[in-house]
Structure formats: C-alpha cells, structure tokens
Amino acid sequence: MRGGKVAGGAAIVAATASAASTRVACHSVQTVIVGAGTFGASLAWTLARAGEDVVLVDQFEPGDRRATSGGESRLIRCSHGGDALYTASAWRARTLWRELEDETGEDLMAEIGMAWFAQREDGWEAESERAMTAQGIPCERLDPAAAAKLFPSLGTDDLAFVLYEPEAGVVRAQRAVQALARQAVAHGAKLVRGRAAPDGDAALVGGERLEGDAVVWACGGWLGSLFADHVPLKVTCQELLFFDGGPAWRSPGVPGFVDYDLAMYGTGDLDDLGVKVALDKEGPPLDPDAELPAAGATEPAVREYLARRFPALADAPLKEGRCCRYELSADSNFIAARHPELERTWIVGGGSGHGFKHGPALAERVAGALRGGEPLPARFGLGHRDAGRSFRTAGSGAW
C-alpha cells in the first residue's frame, strides 16, 4: 500500500498488490465500506466522526462522474407523497448536510426553493403537503397566479395549484461526496483506492483481504452484479440537459421545480451551469462499466415540455447535455440490509433516482443497525420486490 491524494483533498491509499499476489494481508477494522458514493461516504463520515474505525474503498476517486453521485447538483426536497419515512429522512438529511457544511466551511447546499406543479387537487402534491404539514416541515400552497411570480415565464393553464417548499433546493453533489470522504478521513478513516470483490465475509482488494465487524457494500449500480442473487437492480441511462436562459433564469432567484405527473424536473441556472431540465422517465439499460453515452435523445421531449411550462425557454440554446446512471429497485425503495447468509456483510444501495439527498440520514439508520440498534425498515430488504409507486420525480413510465 502507498499514500497519495484525491481531488477534494482527502488522503488516499492505493491498493497495489497484483492479482497474482499469493500473500494475503489481513487488516481487522471495525467497518469496511466499499463504495464512496453518497451512501458509502455518508456512512464513513457518520461512523468516523463517532470515533469508530473505518476503511472506505472505492475503485474511483470520490465524486467521479462514473458514479451516480458524481453529478454537480441533486435536488433535496421533503415532498414524497404521503410517505412519512422519506419525508422525515429528507428533513433530517438537510440538518446533517448543514453539519457537514459547518465542519468544512463549504457551501454544499443551495436553498433555492422548490415548486411542485400540481395538475390535480388530490395527487402526489396534496399528499406531500399533508405529510409535510404533519411533520412541521415548511410548505405552502400557491394558486397558479401567485406561482407565476416565481419564474420569468410559467405556463399555468393546466395547473390546479403549486406546492412550494421554501427550504428545499440543491445539494452540490460531487463536492458534497468529496467533502464526506475528506471529513471521514479527517476523523480517522482510511481511504483505499481499488476494485473490491466479495470473499466470504471480507472484501478482497488488489490481493488484500479486508475484514471488519461489518463489511458494507454500497456499490450503486454495481451491486446487481456483485450480489446477483439478492439485489435485482435495473441500471438505466438518464439524461440531464442544461439550457442558456440568460440572467433572468439564475438561481437563487428562480427555484427548482418538479412536474411529477409529467415526469419532468429541474432548477434555475445555478453556478452558471445553465437551466437544468430533465425527463425523469426510465431510460434505456446501461451496463455499469460501459462508457456514458452522449446525451441528446430526450431533447425533443424536453423542448416540448419547455414550450408548455416555460415558454420563454422553448428555443433557448442547449449549453450541455449529460448522461448518468440510475440504479433502480422495482419499488424505488432503497436497499439496506444484512446479507442473509453472511453474518458480517451488509448491502446498501438502490438509490432509484432519489437517493442522493438522503445519504447522511440513511447512514444514521445503517450505523444504528450495525451497532445492534433499531432494525432497518423491512421495505429496504433484499430479494424480489413488486413494482411500486415512484419516489423519484416521475409519476410514471419509460421513454
């Protein structure tokens, strides 16, 4: 093993032993975490700041674009229809992201607000409003005329109302993941660069066998191939498009938005990236190890949507398009459970297009379960699941 540096400043140790190595070194630590996306890096930070021994392993540097957590921005919102668990989790995560900001002095979250366009009186938005109100989470119901003042142009003909979450916004995802890993290291965790394979209750990395009281596999889209018998995941290609809307569309100022029934979401122009607009229907399958393809297939559908919802952007120049992977469970619930046959092996993932924001809150739950505390929710269990309602920003459908 030898020392090095990763982008974002965290110390890294690269596993250098070759696959042909016959000597297998054993390191016994409290927790080995494979995968430094939002789920794994959040868990490393949570455990390390509590004084526990942690080794965090990733094949890439934290924040790498090939990982699902490697995008610039991810929405953070509490609306989850009537689901109390995810509503509370997002609200708790917001507090924890703020704690990470306090530790690092970095601006990792932008509270730009979030507008949910409701086409029905009794849909996802009304359920979300009830669930948030019950938990004391700020939200307000705006009539379409009042909501129109939030955007430079807004088509409201089809809207029953708009649910506004003033304290929702965006997590600067790539930077946040790098900060989580860096702070985990600052609290004593060891970061190892290498591709790991399960070996009984251990992780084999470049010829080294890493063991712990727990070995947590938080491997995003790769979980399906690592644990094929227990993790039925669908990995898909999803596009993000960024439009040049000019200064009127800058965020903060212009909020984020979700059209749940139309499966569209986005933000104003934050950090000069352009106005982000994405079709959230399930994209085509994509192997986790395949190159990310060029974006563009969704542009016609997105432009049709812009003409309807934000007419001033209908012909806005496209600044950039990007592809990213979803790792979808059938019912869009996360996966967080102990392996049924391996006592010390745990599996965490299934972000299903809405996992980023929850990272630190899910980590708290997982940390509790690792310590023998409250069991993880049954719906996060392994194995087959029936299709369910989407908790991401899409009410339905494939492209």
Ligand X SMILES: Cc1cc2nc3c(=O)[nH]c(=O)nc-3n(C[C@H](O)[C@H](O)[C@H](O)COP(=O)(O)OP(=O)(O)OC[C@H]3O[C@@H](n4cnc5c(N)ncnc54)[C@H](O)[C@@H]3O)c2cc1C
Residues of the shown chain interacting with ligand X in the complex, contacts defined by CB under 6 A: 34-40, 57-60, 67-69, 71, 74-75, 195-196, 218-222, 238, 240, 324-326, 349, 351, 353-357
Kindly tell me which of 104 and 178 has the beta carbon lying closer to ligand X: 178
Q: DSSP class of residue 367?
A: H
Cβ 221 to ligand X shortest distance, Å: 6
Residue 278 beta carbon to ligand X: minimum distance, rounded to whole angstroms: 6
> Where are any strands of DSSP class E within 244-341?
250-251, 256-259, 264-270, 275-279, 318-328, 335-338
Q: 148 or 234: whose CB is closer to ligand X? A: 234
User: Least distance (Å) from ligand X to the CB of residue 67?
Assistant: 3
Radius of gyration from C-alpha coordinates of the chain: 21
Question: Is-contact 257 267, C-beta < 8 A?
Answer: yes
Nearer of residues 144 and 377 to ligand X, judged by Cβ: 377
> Residue length, the chain?
399
- The dihedral region occupied by 42, where left means phi > 0, alpha psi between -120 and 50, and beta the remainder, is alpha
C-beta closer to ligand X: residue 126 or 328: 328
* Distance of alpha carbon 56 from alpha carbon 287, whole angstroms: 24
- Of 245 and 355, the one with the shorter C-beta distance to ligand X is 355
Q: Which residues contact 228 (CB under 8 A, 6 or more apart)?
A: none
C-beta closer to ligand X: residue 221 or 245: 221
Are the beta carbons of 155 and 311 closer than 8 angstroms? yes
Burial 220-256 (b: 16+ CB within 10 A, else e): bbbbbebbeebbbbebbbbbbbbbebeeebbbebbbb
Nearest to 54 by CA among 171, 214, 190: 190
Secondary structure letter of residue 59 according to DSSP: S
CB of 157 to ligand X, least distance (A): 27
CB 143, min distance to ligand X, A: 26
Minimum CB distance to ligand X smaller for 231 or for 306: 231
Which one, of 237, 320, 246, lies nearest residue 277 by Cα? 320
The least distance separating ligand X from the CB of residue 302, rounded to whole angstroms, comes to 13
In the numeric block, the tokens 């705006």 are attached to 142
Q: Region of 253 please: left (phi>0), alpha (psi -120 to 50) or beta.
A: left
Q: How far is the CB of 354 from ligand X (least distance, A)?
A: 5
Cα distance between residue 220 and residue 40, in whole Å: 9
- Taking the complex as a whole, how short is the minimal distance between the CB of residue 69 and ligand X, in angstroms? 3
CB nearer to ligand X: give 139 or 219: 219
Nearer CB in complex with ligand X: 156/356: 356
Residue 356 CB coordination number (10 Å)? 23
Nearest approach in angstroms of CB 75 to ligand X is 3
